[in-house]
Structure 1
């Protein structure tokens, strides 16, 4: 795995509290997927892996810079308070890097890394990076659970169901997944009509994609949203959760490749994450499209960090 980089301890260096572990960074241990012995199976074992790649955004003619997202998220996680149980293990498993514009090699190595974590009963949380990651991420889950019905829940303004004309992009991952699998279970929360043309809606209908528009993805409608989510979860064996930061209103997430002032809010996202976590079917997750190049006071990276913290809290 030539594109893999071991975890950088310096990413987590901030204020310390002696042996009390009062801060998140003091809770984090380190795992070199390439060389270290994998930890023994335990109930609460999580690993963060960076996907330092935004070639998919460049190919999709978006604003590049998301390759710096994983490091920015770590820096915003580090100083948060540690309220997690001592029995819970949180690992930094390093990064898969994008080199020489060869996104496909980066995807292959990302799939191998995620699959290795899943194989050893470690819950992966992938830090991105452009949303083409979803194609590699899904392949890893499918590799470990080939006979399971895998449902994808995507918090996003976009379907990302564009056809592949030459090579995959950040706009094609779910189309690629649909084409490569006989069964396709896909629920999108926060879809914006203004950001998806008619052909994409027609394709979503043809693929039997379920979705909730951003105008309906609000706390006011949370009962209906919970029903939609629970009905979807009942149809599948496992859930892969992917959160695209460009689905949030740019008030909360300005540092993304495709910002929108009319996205959804953190409260409904966090409530829905909690609902999904209760299902006991969630096996892997990612947070993508954090672009520090266009962020303001680290707002987007801070929100991504809080979402990951909240997810860990819900699963602990």
Structure 2
């Protein structure tokens, strides 16, 4: 049974116009990858929260992609007419087969990049980062360096000695990099001391992880933040950006697997995204941990959709 499902066109609804004023009128549903055109923005769902469950988090993120699409659908379209935007489908986790979902995600990302598409993936648990990264790596080969830039309260560097979950993806990537003798380049923005134990900080130090603590991740320190991001980008060939919605304060993002009022705000993330996008090295993006079960007035879904809207109109 295939775990890559066709997109659901009924999600794309909103105000009607005859000028494609809204994104639901711009976006096409492409059921098969061979029909993805060059220079397409490709929207892909990762409907899986098995990793969250294994990590003892609040389940419900498998419904996150649909919630994000529902809000993105209604937003205005300011894209050039020649820009193609396609919903290419849903990677599902069948039963508890998270690793198979990650493999399908990796294969799909590789195919999209081969077709010169720009992938934006909606999750789903942050375990999708392992599949997403591998898809980029399989496309680029071993001669190019991939920098991972993660907006997150958590390192997600937990050991996978007892199995993989939503807290292990970057530990897994680091281990794979060591095995293949390639550089592990990882920068986390928004790290909280109250969300990571001392062993995780120790692991981050041992792996050479760069990070900015949450108390320094705000507009008052913007210049220093942008300088650190620029220095990181300069060291790598491509940037994979992943946005974990639980890094935001629950004032902005209550609908996540691990909420906290102590997170960061959208304005600093948008400022950083501008720096990342303008570097010309951004190759792919995902948004993780959207959990509509705990959302309030669809606030978190709207935040994720607004971030996507900004990225789509800036790349």
Q: Is 2:87 the partner of 1:69? A: no
The structure 1 segments of at least 4 consecutive aligned residues displaced by more than 2 Å after TM superposition are none
Cα separation, 1, equivalents of 2:125 and 2:5: 18
Matches within 5 A, 1:84-163: 84-146=79-141, 147-163=143-159
Note the alpha carbon deviations across 1:263-287, whole angstroms, 9 max, x for none: 0000000110111000000000000
Is 1:66–1:256's contact at 8 Å kept on the other side of the alignment?
yes
Tell me the secondary structure at the aligned position of residue 287 of structure 1: strand
Q: Is 2:156 the partner of 1:175? A: no
Cα separation, 2, equivalents of 1:83 and 1:137: 28
Cα separation, 2, equivalents of 1:38 and 1:196: 40
Is 1:11–1:71's contact at 8 Å kept on the other side of the alignment?
yes
Note the alpha carbon deviations across 1:147-195, whole angstroms, 9 max, x for none: 2100000000000000012221000000000000131000000000000
Q: Which residue of 2 aligns with 1:25?
A: 24
Structure 1 residues 38 and 84, CA, compared in 2 at 3 Å: closer, same or farther? closer
**Gaps spanning 5+ residues in structure 1: where?**
none
Cα separation, 1, equivalents of 2:35 and 2:198: 50
Q: Which residue of 2 aligns with 1:194?
A: 194
Note the alpha carbon deviations across 1:120-169, whole angstroms, 9 max, x for none: 11000000000000000000000000121000000000000000122210
1:313 deviates by 1.5
Tell me the secondary structure at the aligned position of residue 86 of structure 1: coil
1:7 deviates by 1.0
Is 1:131–1:288's contact at 8 Å kept on the other side of the alignment?
yes
1:16 deviates by 1.2
Q: How many residues align?
A: 310
Cα separation, 2, equivalents of 1:276 and 1:164: 30
Question: If the length of structure 2 is used for normalisation, what is the TM-score?
Answer: 0.97
Cα separation, 1, equivalents of 2:127 and 2:118: 20
Is 2:14–2:22's contact at 8 Å kept on the other side of the alignment?
no
Moved more, 24-33 or 51-60: 24-33
Q: Which residue of 2 aligns with 1:213?
A: 213
Cα separation, 2, equivalents of 1:33 and 1:275: 33
Note the alpha carbon deviations across 1:19-59, whole angstroms, 9 max, x for none: 2111111110122235x4332x33xx210000000000000
Note the alpha carbon deviations across 1:92-116, whole angstroms, 9 max, x for none: 1110111111111111111111111
Is 1:57–1:63's contact at 8 Å kept on the other side of the alignment?
yes
Is 1:33–1:113's contact at 8 Å kept on the other side of the alignment?
no
Tell me the secondary structure at the aligned position of residue 215 of structure 1: helix
Cα separation, 1, equivalents of 2:57 and 2:44: 23
Cα separation, 2, equivalents of 1:172 and 1:118: 25
Matches within 5 A, 1:155-304: 155-181=151-177, 182=181, 183-304=183-304
1:14 deviates by 2.5
Q: CA RMSD in A?
A: 1.0
1:203 deviates by 0.6
